[in-house]
Amino acid sequence: MKKYLIPCGAVLLFTSCGLFSGKEKNIESDSVKIAASELIDSTQGNSADDGETIDMDTSTIKRLSWIDDVMKGYLRTPEGVKIVQGYKYEKDVNWIWDSMRKTDSATYVVLQLGGDVDNGEGMVFSTAAWIYVDTLSRKAYEYSIEKEDLRPLNIPAK
């Protein structure tokens, strides 16, 4: 009897451990799914990444040329001045038209503000800030990577 008890106990032990670890994996993956869906629900409407991306052509950029004035105004704000001071020359700071995003409440032009820097292997564009400009209200927002939301910018008039 004793010689059968040890092998049966070992089989029972390995079987129960295998079943438990399988349940643990399912519970863990379910909690990850729940956390991800809660994250999506909690950021819906606040995230700058919501909405569809619209292609921009040359005529769209020309029609929205007033955005360049908004960006020049931003560079005169205290936040903009800090960005400019991070580069060797003021002329090194520029912006790239990244995309246009349409959400339920607004259409934004997304710009990368930064400049070319030498990374040791050549020149690369280094993004210092992501700026979203509402095409209807003409208000600008800075995208916060940490909070994943848009912070309104107070840009003085010319």
In a shared domain, residues 27 and 97: no
Q: What is the pTM of this model?
A: 0.63
**86 shares a domain with 57:** yes
- Checking if the pLDDT of 60 tops 60, the result is yes
Looking at 18-22, 62-66, 81-85, which range is the least confident one?
18-22
DSSP 58-107: HHHHHHTTHHHHHHHHHTTSHHHHHHHHTSSSGGGEEEEEEEEEE-SS-E
Is 120 inside any structural domain? yes
Separation of alpha carbons 148 and 43, rounded Å = 8
Secondary structure in 3-state letters for 102-121 = ECCCCEEEEEEEEEEEECCC
Assess whether 35 and 111 both reside in one domain. no
Do 64 and 127 belong to one domain?
yes
Are residues 148 and 78 part of one domain?
yes
Question: Does residue 145 sit within a domain?
Answer: yes
| Residue range(s) defining the domain that contains residue 121 | 52-152
C-alpha span between 140 and 133 (Å, rounded) = 4
Statement to judge: residues 102 and 57 lie in one domain? yes
Decide: 142 and 79 in contact? Cβ < 8 Å.
yes
**Residues 72 and 30 grouped into a single domain:** no
Longest dimension (CA), the chain: 95
pLDDT in tens, 117-153: 888 999 899 999 999 999 999 999 999 988 899 999 9
- Tell me whether residue 45 is exposed, middle or buried, using C-beta atoms within 10 angstroms of its C-beta: 0 to 12, 13 to 18, 19 or more: exposed
